[in-house]
Amino acid sequence: MSDPAPLFDTALARRRLARARGAGYAGFLMARLVEDVEDRLAAVTRSFPLALDLGTPVGDLGHRLRATGRVDRLVRLGPLPGADADLVGDPEALPFGPGAGFDLAVSALALQHVNDLPGVLVQVRRALKPDGLFLGCLLGGATLTELRQAFLQAESETEGGVSPRVAPFAELRDLGGLMQRAGFALPVVDADTIRVRYADPFALMRDLRAMGLTNVLHDRRRTPLRRATLLRAAALYAERFSDPDGRLRATFEVLWLSGWAPHESQQKPLRPGSAKTRLADALGTAEHRLTPDTEEAPDTGGTP
């Protein structure tokens, strides 16, 4: 059987990121996520002799981790040369074999455009040493919902059909299962919604271009966007998603996922029936046992 067609054009994604970094990367979203990574790691009371930055578009996260003093050595696998990248590579083909021995792996805004997210998670788990931690974030399904709705309606009205323009990002309900399938212990997933306000939709589109987050779908429309469609989408956006002061909302849903490489020291669920304390004692209530004489008779549907 042939491999499934890729969802994302990863080569195009790298070119778009290179263009964004060359013209001046819009770092407001990354700055927020770097702070959030530091806050989340603050709850982990340990140091990390060897850490991996997995594909984060710019070097800000690595700089912050080094500044904490909790990371002795950080290896940055970047998508492009520069930005303090120690290695240039693809998260879907990590240049580290099983047992690479990382104590920590982090990633921010790098995994929403991979074609094989389950495979990436498996590789990350294998690259961690036992009891190593993975903490990452990627854009979720509610991201740019306003822009998506505006373009869908505009294209339907002006062209009689629609084309994919905003990526189908991951959903929170799926990530927990993916983490378990990848072999992570104690997996945790949660979502954070960040809303940014703009004077007009074109300012949002400029920021997306400056973050390298424009359309990189493999099956994207290859013909230029019609001016009438663009203007209609902008008008719909302003009509439907403006605040009382006239500024427009843009949603970025950030999905967080964390998990540990398995280790014998980690907490494990108890076997069914192995509890040593009765639930009635824990709740401070009396226990009532059913006997054959007191069991309720089955309902047969008849009258009493």
Type of residue numbered 158: T
pTM, full prediction: 0.83
Structural domains counted in the chain: 1
**Range with lowest mean pLDDT among 113-117, 254-258, 278-282:** 278-282
For residue 301, the model assigns a pLDDT of 44
For residue 173, the model assigns a pLDDT of 86
Task: Give 266's pLDDT tier (boundaries 50, 70, 90).
Answer: confident
pLDDT at 296 over 90: no
Helix axes of 28-41 and 60-68: crossing angle, nearest 10 degrees: 30
**Range with lowest mean pLDDT among 14-28, 83-97, 268-282:** 268-282
The mean per-residue pLDDT over the stretch 105-120 comes to 94
Residue 43 forms part of a structural domain? yes
The mean per-residue pLDDT over the stretch 51-63 comes to 95
- Rounded to the nearest integer, the mean pLDDT of the chain is 87
Whole domain around residue 105: which residue ranges?
10-260
pLDDT at 291 over 60: no
Integer CA distances (angstroms), 13 to 7, 8, 84, 93, in order:
12, 8, 19, 16
pLDDT at 287 over 70: no
The mean per-residue pLDDT over the stretch 184-199 comes to 96
The mean per-residue pLDDT over the stretch 253-272 comes to 83
Residue 270 forms part of a structural domain? no
Residue 299 forms part of a structural domain? no
Report d(CA 52, CA 259) in Å as an integer: 15
Residue 283 forms part of a structural domain? no
**How many Å is the Cα radius of gyration of the chain?**
25
Q: What percent of the chain has pLDDT over 70?
A: 84
For residue 293, the model assigns a pLDDT of 54
Report d(CA 121, CA 170) in Å as an integer: 14
CATH of the domain at 168: 3.40.50.150
Q: What percent of the chain has pLDDT over 90?
A: 69
The mean per-residue pLDDT over the stretch 271-291 comes to 62
pLDDT at 201 over 50: yes
CA end-to-end span of the chain, whole Å? 64
Exposed e or buried b per residue across 112-145, where buried means at least 16 C-beta atoms within 10 angstroms of its C-beta: bbbbbbeebbbbbbbbbeeebbbbbbbbbbbbbb
Residue 84 forms part of a structural domain? yes
**8 A C-beta contact, residue 201 and residue 233:** yes
Residue 187 forms part of a structural domain? yes
The mean per-residue pLDDT over the stretch 29-46 comes to 95
pLDDT at 303 over 50: no
Report d(CA 147, CA 152) in Å as an integer: 9
**8 A C-beta contact, residue 15 and residue 52:** no
Which of 193, 150, 147, 142 has its CA nearest to residue 170?
Answer: 142
**8 A C-beta contact, residue 182 and residue 117:** no
Higher-pLDDT residue of 297 and 119 is 119
For residue 253, the model assigns a pLDDT of 96
Residue 167 forms part of a structural domain? yes
Q: Encoding tokens for residue 25? A: 């990367």
Residue 20 forms part of a structural domain? yes
Task: Give 295's pLDDT tier (boundaries 50, 70, 90).
Answer: very low
Tell me the per-residue pLDDT of 203-253, one tens digit each, with 9 for 90 and over: 999 999 999 998 888 777 777 788 999 999 999 999 999 999 999 999 999
The mean per-residue pLDDT over the stretch 16-38 comes to 96
